[in-house]
Structure 1
Amino acid sequence: MLHLASLLATPGIHLYGWRHPDADPAVDMDFDFYVRTTQAAERAKLDAVFLADSVAVPGYGKPEVATTGKSRYPRLAGLEPISLITALAPLTRNIGLIATMTTTYNEPYHVARRMASVDHLSKGRAGWNLVTSEAEEESLNFGFEQHLEHSQRYVRGGEFHDVVTALWDSWDEDAFVLDKATGQIFDPAKVRRIDHKGEYFTVQGPLNVPRPPQGHPVIAQAGASDPGRELAARTADLVFVAAQTLDEAKEYYDDVKGRLARYGRSKDSLRILAGIVPVVADTDEQAARIVDQLAGFMTDEDAVAQLQRWAGDLDLTALPLDEPLPELPEINNAKGRQKMLVDMARRDNLTLGDLARRFAGTLGHRLVFGSAQTIADDLQLWHESGAADGFMLISPYYPGPAIDFFDKVVPELQRRGIFRTEYSGQTLRDNLEIAVPANQFHNK
């Protein structure tokens, strides 16, 4: 069976999808929308909904960085994801709830406590998207003059993960005896300090929340660079990847799955979901018209300006739109995404304008459009070709495309026998068919 999750990137992943006549541009602050959409995803039996995050407003970095045109961009501000999944937990029953928290601008104890709490509140449906922070502007909100260097962010992220999981393991599942006759609350032999002293963190423990129902809430990642892939192989249960071609997806899939053995992990211990931007209609021709309509809302200038964040000090807005993408300088934010841009431009012989327009419509994820049958054919091919364990759905705007996928494509996948018709368990790990991790302290 393939796996499906939905990234709620409100008001849409397309730069100007919110301008579509059927789009609601205010959904990012509308809790009722999140409830309706998550419940619809649950009726369709999706594995999870997924919430991205940043702790800065892109474009508002150092004073010398221009913010012209940012007032025309979506996804600049929204609801904090842990608060949101906490509110969604009692309004849903089976679907997983995954929220993003950065390891660069948080402390492990805070993250461990919040995620353990949500896992208890949701009865085992919480997931933590472990990110090391892409946007350089985030550093300026936490007392730093510049973003931590890329490789250091991943070293810190790895240590952060180790502290968080140790805190989750600081209690045994059956530590609390609650014996009224003797007055004993817990068995002291089943709780311990972690006494972590590392390069970045010193944490005593134990955590002041019992071990989560899933042992560890599901850990998700989306790193595409080599350090990101290595961290995913060591720590992640779920990986979300942007890939434009079947060959790219298979290379990523085989590479990351091939790294698992060095950490004593089987290939079934990690699920890799490829990001797609679906546009569903009754016919392929109708879907193509929607794609063209979305493209018509965008200007070359705005598309290139959005691309600028992956170009470092090179001013793309000063370059001809009809010329090839030049060599890009090394950057300290999303190295994997920059490589994707360059590879896309070279592979498809795109001009700067072509690349900017394509990227602004999907942020590097694959556009899939057509009838339910056409889209199901595509997803089945990728899944059966070993390119992905499933897919992360990212709508160009809301609410229509997401609901159309749930109502039209999912039944077609179910009819083909490649997607579940009922949930087989109650936790996110059950949905993903990933085992509960053993308590690391039982072997010490």
Structure 2
Amino acid sequence: MSTAKRQMKLGAFFHPTGHHIAAWHHPGAQIDAGTNFAHYVEMTQMAEAAKFDLVFLADAVATRDGDLEGLSRWPQYMCFFDPVVLLSGLAAATNRIGLVATATTSYNEPYNLARKYASLDHLSGGRAGWNVVTSGNVSEAYNFGREAHYGHGERYQRASEFVDVVKGLWDSYDDDAFVRDRASGRYLLPEKLHFLDHHGEHFAVRGPLNIARPPQGYPVLFQASASDVGKDLAARIAEVLFTPLHDLERAQAFYRDMKAHAATFGRTADDLLVMPGLNVVVGTSRKEAEEKLDFLNRSIHPAVGKELLSNALGGIDLSEVDVDKPLPDHIIPAEQRRTNPRYAYLFKEKLTVRQMYQRYGAARGQRTVIGTPTEIADQMERWFVERGVDGFLVQPPVLPLGLREFIEMVVPELQDRGLFRTDYTGTTLREHLGLRRPAGIHAVH
């Protein structure tokens, strides 16, 4: 058994100009970030120099629909790179940091996606990760020949089968299948090639995949859902769980529950890491940090704020609400106000609509911490040491400025406390995260 001190995992979560909904207004944001490759190279190399475990990219396969007045002032999902293509480029500009991208199981096919992520794992030398999502944006259906979005239950049934097919395709070849022996004239050992021949409710896929087994066996699987059916899928397939957590006591309960739930699928507690998002606003004083956040909050146009809040609350119409009054009681049922993990924290106080979208817009539902480097490190340490998390996906409010501030001000504090590495000890994302490399399903034991 290892006696090494447990250390937290850190990922850098990149939204193009930053995670605050008004980030693009800030002079420290790269205003054309969505299509500026040099911007992503700079940030990823910066995170790698700081020894982050990974960088993480979200995705959507549609623009937002809604009020054009709000959407025209909100660049999210309106102009940005395909993340797998982007990470392929970043693989050539980096050496050690993990590269994780979101891809939906709702509007992809398993074969194409398995091939892309296997390719990314080979290109990067074993640093790829896939964030498994089911599309929540109903607009995506219209780009894939559908008149309506999949229902919630169907989305997760499809996702479960989708992941099984992808993993089966990654096992199309044994690790040592490609001998490439000129002397014998044998390139591939035929007995080490496997046809999947999958026939399920949603997919029929023969296989095999036309690329060798990924260096990591499987790219690392991330998942983000907090619904009951989503948590069941995560306990079965996820290796890193990214979900909103705002209260330490609830985070501890969630942490224990998910580790125990994973055990019901024959997994260990170490097979599933909990890494929620953390929006960090750091200053040399708490007053400075508060002023930074206040500037961004004041930059949110009301049309943008209402559009954001409408999406967060399930697409309800907020066009006629007064932003300087609390949300009318009839709009969201009392039970949902108390229990929905995406937004229950917004109803703990009698906030106005403006205050609600300012609080949500800082990190789109994830937790925000404000303060000096010591104050922020104190909070991160407490959540980690008291087993609420295994680490965090750091969501800088403004990019690249916020990432640079976190690296220069907070990372050294974590390193001085022995909570975060000072150098890499492995080369693959699995090694960084302490995750085992899975054997192929056809491997002889």
Fold shared by both chains (TM-score > 0.5): yes
2:22 pairs with 5, 16, 26, which one?
16
Q: CA deviation at 1:336?
A: 12
SS in 1 for 2:29: coil
| Matching residue's letter, 1:271 | L
Aligned equivalent of 1:284: 286
Distance (whole Å) between structure 2 residues aligned to residue 142 and residue 365 of structure 1: 30
Q: CA deviation at 1:341?
A: 4.8
Distance (whole Å) between structure 2 residues aligned to residue 10 and residue 186 of structure 1: 43
Alignment partner of 1:41 is 2:41: no
Q: Assess if the C-alpha contact under 8 Å between 2:337 and 2:343 holds in 1.
A: no
Gaps of 5+ in 1: 60-64
Aligned equivalent of 1:367: 368
Q: Assess if the C-alpha contact under 8 Å between 1:311 and 1:328 holds in 2.
A: no
Q: Alpha-carbon deviations, 1:364-420, whole Å to 9, x = none?
A: 111112111111111001101111100111111111111111122111101100101
1:189 pairs with 191, 195, 204, which one?
191
The answer to which of 208-217 and 220-229 deviates more is 220-229
Q: CA deviation at 1:248?
A: 2.9
Aligned equivalent of 2:219: 217
Q: Assess if the C-alpha contact under 8 Å between 2:305 and 2:361 holds in 1.
A: yes
Distance (whole Å) between structure 1 residues aligned to residue 317 and residue 220 of structure 2: 40
Distance (whole Å) between structure 1 residues aligned to residue 316 and residue 95 of structure 2: 49
Q: Assess if the C-alpha contact under 8 Å between 1:86 and 1:121 holds in 2.
A: yes
| Matching residue's letter, 2:158 | R
Relative to the length of structure 1, the TM-score reads 0.94
SS in 2 for 1:157: helix
Provide closer, same or farther for how the CA distance between residues 352 and 403 of structure 1 changes in structure 2, counting only shifts above 3 A. Answer: same
SS in 2 for 1:287: helix
Distance (whole Å) between structure 2 residues aligned to residue 377 and residue 127 of structure 1: 29
Q: Assess if the C-alpha contact under 8 Å between 1:24 and 1:398 holds in 2.
A: yes
Q: CA deviation at 1:324?
A: 4.0
Aligned equivalent of 2:273: 271
Distance (whole Å) between structure 1 residues aligned to residue 411 and residue 387 of structure 2: 20
Distance (whole Å) between structure 2 residues aligned to residue 179 and residue 301 of structure 1: 64
Provide closer, same or farther for how the CA distance between residues 112 and 267 of structure 1 changes in structure 2, counting only shifts above 3 A. Answer: same
Q: Alpha-carbon deviations, 1:168-217, whole Å to 9, x = none?
A: 01110001112222211111111110110000000111111000000000
Q: Size of the alignment, in residue pairs?
A: 435
Distance (whole Å) between structure 1 residues aligned to residue 327 and residue 71 of structure 2: 25
SS in 2 for 1:100: strand
Alignment partner of 1:392 is 2:393: yes
Alignment partner of 1:147 is 2:152: no
SS in 2 for 1:391: strand
Q: Alpha-carbon deviations, 1:332-367, whole Å to 9, x = none?
A: xxx999923541133233333321221122211111
Q: CA deviation at 1:301?
A: 4.0
Q: Alpha-carbon deviations, 1:32-59, whole Å to 9, x = none?
A: 1111110010010000000100000011
Q: CA deviation at 1:155?
A: 0.5
Alignment partner of 1:30 is 2:31: no
Aligned equivalent of 2:247: 245
Provide closer, same or farther for how the CA distance between residues 132 and 351 of structure 1 changes in structure 2, counting only shifts above 3 A. Answer: same
Provide closer, same or farther for how the CA distance between residues 387 and 325 of structure 1 changes in structure 2, counting only shifts above 3 A. Answer: farther
Distance (whole Å) between structure 1 residues aligned to residue 236 and residue 298 of structure 2: 43
Give the RMSD, CA atoms, in angstroms. Answer: 2.0
Distance (whole Å) between structure 1 residues aligned to residue 121 and residue 341 of structure 2: 34
Q: Assess if the C-alpha contact under 8 Å between 1:313 and 1:329 holds in 2.
A: no
Structure 1 runs (4+) deviating above 4 angstroms are: 327-330, 335-338
Provide closer, same or farther for how the CA distance between residues 147 and 56 of structure 1 changes in structure 2, counting only shifts above 3 A. Answer: same
Provide closer, same or farther for how the CA distance between residues 364 and 354 of structure 1 changes in structure 2, counting only shifts above 3 A. Answer: same
Distance (whole Å) between structure 2 residues aligned to residue 213 and residue 193 of structure 1: 20
Distance (whole Å) between structure 1 residues aligned to residue 87 and residue 338 of structure 2: 27
Relative to the length of structure 2, the TM-score reads 0.94
Gaps of 5+ in 2: 1-6
Provide closer, same or farther for how the CA distance between residues 380 and 327 of structure 1 changes in structure 2, counting only shifts above 3 A. Answer: farther
Distance (whole Å) between structure 2 residues aligned to residue 302 and residue 182 of structure 1: 66
The answer to which of 340-349 and 74-83 deviates more is 340-349
